[in-house]
């Protein structure tokens, strides 16, 4: 089973700053099968990025994803107040899903 | 409009069996390509994928909980049911049902979640 590790655990930034979140897999992941979700307190997660780099419907272009193999990243070019949340990467392999432990982006 | 709604007990006792129901609206569990999944999240912790059932009744489970989980569907009620045996306080979590889009695959529609507390 593929294990996902996310870093950092917490990222403290100010609005307007750039955020770069990392997701590392214990073995190679098909790029098609690497997704990112955003979760705000008290809410269900929301799909941000599918297939490593494709923004989901309605997701602003300040969110971008990249990577391949075992190393993937999510970048928020300029943080807006509504972007402070927890971000999870998720992969699909051998018919099952796994999530990473999450990165919390909070206000500095 | 696609909606998923979880229902079930808010409180279960240790050793009991939990049964959760996911009711779908705006889509059918029988539609070709339809996949429904259960995910849980202990308070303050990360998401954990649990199980998945497809339109053709194929079923998949997370390795660590496979012996305790059963996922099924009731096409007449347009529902997906998850049972988890031998509940323990560490199973206290919000349980979400969600739709998987196989074109990804990715999860694009989520229920609001239901909090289940395991306590005597």
pLDDT value, residue B83: 98
Chain A residue numbers touching B48 (CB-CB < 8 A): 99
Contact A97 B112 (CB under 8 A): no
In this complex, which of A44, A51, A97 lies closest to B49 when CB atoms are compared? A97
Answer yes or no: do B106 and A1 touch at CB < 8 A.
Answer: no
Q: What's the pLDDT score for residue B70? A: 98
Which pLDDT score, from 0 to 100, does residue A92 have?
Answer: 94
CB contact, 8 Å: A65 with chain B? no
Q: What is the pLDDT of residue A51?
A: 95
Do the beta carbons of residue B118 and residue B108 sit within 8 Å? Answer: no
Contact list, B105 vs chain A (CB under 8 Å):
33, 92, 97
Of the candidates A89, A101, A105, A102, the one whose C-alpha atom is nearest the C-alpha of residue A20 is A105
Please give the sequence-ordered ranges of beta strands (E in DSSP) within B2-120, or none if there are none: 3-7, 11-12, 18-25, 35-41, 48-54, 59-61, 69-74, 79-84, 93-101, 106-110, 114-118
pLDDT for B102 = 87
Nearest residue of B to residue A40, measured between CA atoms: B44
Cβ–Cβ under 8 Å, residues A105 and A19:
yes
Mean pLDDT, to the nearest integer, of A2-8? 97
A32 touches chain B (CB under 8 A): yes
Mean pLDDT of chain A: 97
Indicate yes or no: CB of B107 within 8 angstroms of CB of A99. no
- A35-67 pLDDT, tens digit per residue, is 999 999 999 999 999 999 999 999 999 999 999
State the best of A39, A41, A44, A91 to mutate against chain B, taking most chain B CBs within 10 Å: A44
Q: Residue B94: its pLDDT value, please?
A: 98
CB–CB of A88 and B105 under 8 A? no
Q: What is the pLDDT along chain B (120 residues), one digit of tens a residue?
A: 899 999 999 999 999 999 999 999 999 999 999 999 999 999 999 999 999 999 999 999 999 999 999 999 999 999 999 999 999 999 999 999 999 998 889 999 999 999 999 999
Could you read off the pLDDT of A14-29 as tens digits, one per residue?
Answer: 999 999 999 999 999 9
């Amino acid at each position: 089973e593929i294990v996902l590790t996310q870093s950092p655990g917490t990222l403290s930034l100010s609005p307007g700053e750039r955020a770069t979140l990392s997701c590392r897999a214990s073995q190679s992941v098909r790029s098609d099968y690497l997704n990112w979700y955003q979760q705000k307190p008290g809410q269900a997660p929301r799909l941000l990025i599918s297939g490593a780099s494709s923004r989901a419907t309605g997701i602003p272009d300040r969110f971008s994803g990249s990577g391949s193999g075992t190393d993937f990243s999510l970048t928020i070019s300029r943080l807006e107040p509504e972007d402070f949340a927890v971000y999870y990467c998720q992969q699909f392999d051998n018919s099952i899903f796994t999530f990473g432990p999450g990165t919390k982006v909070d206000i500095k | 409009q696609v909606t998923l709604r979880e229902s079930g007990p808010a409180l279960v006792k240790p050793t009991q069996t939990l049964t959760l129901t996911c009711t779908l609206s705006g889509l059918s569990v029988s539609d070709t390509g339809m996949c429904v999944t259960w995910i849980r999240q202990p308070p303050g912790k990360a998401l954990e994928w649990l199980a998945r059932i497809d339109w053709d009744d194929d079923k998949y489970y997370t390795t660590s909980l496979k012996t305790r989980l059963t996922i099924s569907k009731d096409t007449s009620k347009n529902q997906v049911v998850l049972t988890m045996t031998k509940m323990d306080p560490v199973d206290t979590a919000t349980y979400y049902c969600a739709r998987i889009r196989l074109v990804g695959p990715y999860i694009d529609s989520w229920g609001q979640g239901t909090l289940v507390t395991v306590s005597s």
